Amino acid sequence: MTKTLEETWWGHYEDLAVYMGERGGQRPRQNDSPRAAALYSWSFAQRRALDAGTLTAERREALDRLGEWSAGRNENPEELWERRLGELQQFVAGRGRFPAYNVGLRGTGEHVLGVWVSTQRTRFRKGRMRTDRRERLDRMLPGWV
């Protein structure tokens, strides 16, 4: 008997839920294993559907129950930038250093912040950072560059 598209979707969802449950909520990464690669591709397709506005509310709610699966998509970019800046300030205040983003930290808050600040540094170096953002980073986190 052939599965319907709906049954196939929920089967993939269940596979993703089990995978993330086994790993403390960590999302699959493309290069971890064949299973992780397949789940990564499927979840990437769900993020594309979310961006395109074609992901149903029922499916989005189910995916939201898994944790941070959408990686900031569908969030106001200004609000996301402000949230990351606040998180970075707290991290630096608590640890006395900027976050690292090396591979061994994937799936952690430090990795997310490390990637974020690295992206800001790259934008700054390439002249693509908004002046107001650069000024705020300079004022709130001296030495961020």
Convert the pLDDT of each residue in 46-88 to its tens digit: 988 887 778 899 998 898 888 777 654 555 667 778 888 999 9
Which pLDDT value is given to residue 75? 57
Residues 115 and 72: beta-carbon distance below 8 Å: no
Report pLDDT for 27. 82
pLDDT at 103 over 70: no
3-class state of residue 33 by DSSP: coil
Q: How far apart are CA 43 and CA 102, in angstroms?
A: 23
What was the pLDDT predicted at 104? 60
Contact 27, 41 (CB under 8 A): no
Higher pLDDT, 39 or 107: 39
Cα dihedral sign for 129, 122, 73, 97? negative
Residue 21 has pLDDT above 90, yes or no: no
- Whole-number Å distance between alpha carbons of 111 and 130: 24
Q: What is the structure's pLDDT at 81?
A: 85
Residue 55 neighbours by CB distance under 10 Å: 18
Mean pLDDT of the chain: 85
| 120/38 Cα distance (integer angstroms) | 31
